[in-house]
Amino acid sequence: MANIMIRKNDKGYVFYMPKRDIEDSIVSMEFDTPEKWGGEIKLGNGGAYYIEPQSAPARLPYSVRARRIDGVE
């Protein structure tokens, strides 16, 4: 588990992990509705993380715990 920060730019969600200074675009997010948000997220670099599905944050950027599923550190 690691802390990540999700923000939005003109192209969509951006993933940022402070601990390792990794910034990347989020190419897909499993759930993206106001009630259910999160799940598996896929990054531009091929990595995948999992965020416990929850109601969408009121404001971005938003820090949340995420679990690494696959690939890139």
Partner 1 sequence: MSALTREETEALIQEVLEVYPEKAKKDRAKHLMINDKELESSKKCITSNRKSLPGVMTMRGCAYAGSKGVVWGPIKDVISISHGPIGCGQYSRAGRRNYYSGTSGVDSFCEMNFTSDFQEKDIVFGGDKKLAKLINEIELLFPLNKGISIQSECPVGLIGDDIEAVAKKAAKELNKPVVPVRCEGFRGVSQSLGHHIANDSVRDWIISNRDGQAFEKTPYDVAILGDYNVGGDAWASRILLEEMGLRVVAQWSGDGTLAEMENTPNVKLNLLHCYRSMNYISRHMEEKYGIPWVEYNFFGPTKIKESLRKIAGFFDDKIKEGAERVIEKYTPMMDAVIAKFKPRLQGKKVMLYVGGLRPRHVVGAYEDLGMEVVGAGYEFAHNDDYDRTIKEMGDATLIYDDVTGYEFEEFVKALKPDLIGSGIKEKYVFHKMGVPFRQLHSWDYSGPYHGCDGFAVFARDMDMTINNPCWNMMQTPWQQKAPGSLLKAAA
Q: Does 62 contact partner 1 by CB under 8 A?
A: yes
Length of the chain: 73
Measured distance CA(35)–CA(70) in Å, rounded: 26
Q: At residue 18, what are phi and psi to the nearest 5 degrees?
A: -60, -40
Which one among 12, 36, 53, 61 touches partner 1, defined by CB under 8 A?
61
Q: Does 24 contact partner 1 by CB under 8 A?
A: yes
Number of residues that bind partner 1 (CB under 8 A): 16
Measured distance CA(54)–CA(36) in Å, rounded: 5
Cα 37 from chain centroid (whole Å): 10
> Among the candidate windows 34-42, 48-56, 59-67, which touches partner 1 by CB under 8 A?
59-67
Q: Which residues bind partner 1 (CB under 8 A)?
A: 5, 7, 16, 18, 21-24, 44-46, 59, 61-63, 72
